[in-house]
Amino acid sequence: MFTATRPHLTRAHPSLPHDLFEAIDALKRELNAVILAHYYQDPDIQDVADYLGDSLGLSQQAASTNADVIVFAGVHFMAETAKILNPDKLVLLPDLNAGCSLADSCPPDAFAQFKANYPDHLVISYINCSAEIKAMSDIICTSSNAVQIVNQLPKDQPIIFAPDRNLGRYVMEQTGRNLVLWQGSCIVHETFSEKRIVQLKIENLDAEVIAHPECEPAVLRHASYIGSTTALLKYARSSSSQAFIVATEPGIIHQMQKQTPEKRFIPAPATNNCNCNECPFMRLNTLEKLYLAMKNRQPEITLPDEIRIAALRPIQQMLEMSA
Ligand code: 13P
Ligand code: SF4
pLDDT in 10s for each residue of the chain, 323 residues: 334 445 555 545 678 999 999 999 999 999 999 999 999 999 999 999 999 999 999 999 999 999 999 999 999 999 999 999 999 999 999 999 999 999 999 999 999 999 999 999 999 999 999 999 999 999 999 999 999 999 999 999 999 999 999 999 999 999 999 999 999 999 999 999 999 999 999 999 999 999 999 999 999 999 999 999 999 999 999 999 999 999 999 999 999 999 999 999 999 999 877 888 999 999 999 999 999 999 999 999 999 999 999 999 999 999 999 98
Q: Is the CB of 59 under 6 A from ligand 1?
A: no
Which pLDDT score is estimated for 10? 54
Whether ligand 1 lies within 6 angstroms of the CB of 214 is answered as yes
Atom number, ligand 1, closest to the C-alpha of residue 212: 3
CA of 188 to the centre of ligand 2 (A): 6
Domains and CATH numbers, the chain: 20-99+282-303 (3.40.50.10800), 102-186+307-321 (3.40.50.10800), 194-267 (3.40.50.10800)
- Strand segments (E) across 167-320: 180-181, 207-211, 225-226, 243-247, 264-267
Q: Are 85 and 64 in contact (CB under 8 A)?
A: no
Residue 9 Cα, ligand 2 centroid: separation in angstroms? Answer: 29
Pocket test for ligand 2, best of 106, 164, 187, 229 (most atoms within 8 A of CB): 187
Task: Compute, in angstroms, the gap from residue 11 CA to the centroid of ligand 2.
Answer: 32
Q: Read off the amino acid at residue 117.
A: N
Residue nearest ligand 1's atom 4 by CA: 54
Q: Does ligand 1 come within 6 angstroms of the Cβ of 285?
A: no
First-to-last C-alpha distance (Å) of the chain: 36
Q: Please state, in angstroms and rounded to a whole number, the distance separating the CA atoms of residues 136 and 121.
A: 12
In ligand 2, the atom with minimum distance to the C-alpha of 101 is 8
Q: Which helix (H) or strand (E) holds 107?
A: none
Per-residue pLDDT, 15: 80
What are the contacts of 225-230 at 24+ separation with CB within 8 A? 226/170, 227/143, 227/144, 228/54, 228/55, 228/56, 228/142, 228/143, 228/144, 229/38, 229/39, 229/40, 229/53, 229/54, 229/143, 230/39, 230/53, 230/54, 230/56, 230/57, 230/144
Q: How far is the CA of 143 from the centre of ligand 1 (A)?
A: 7
DSSP 268: P
Burial class for 177, CB neighbours closer than 10 Å (0-12, 13-18, 19+): middle
**Which ligand gives the minimal distance to the CA of 234?**
1
> What is the 8-class DSSP label of residue 252?
G
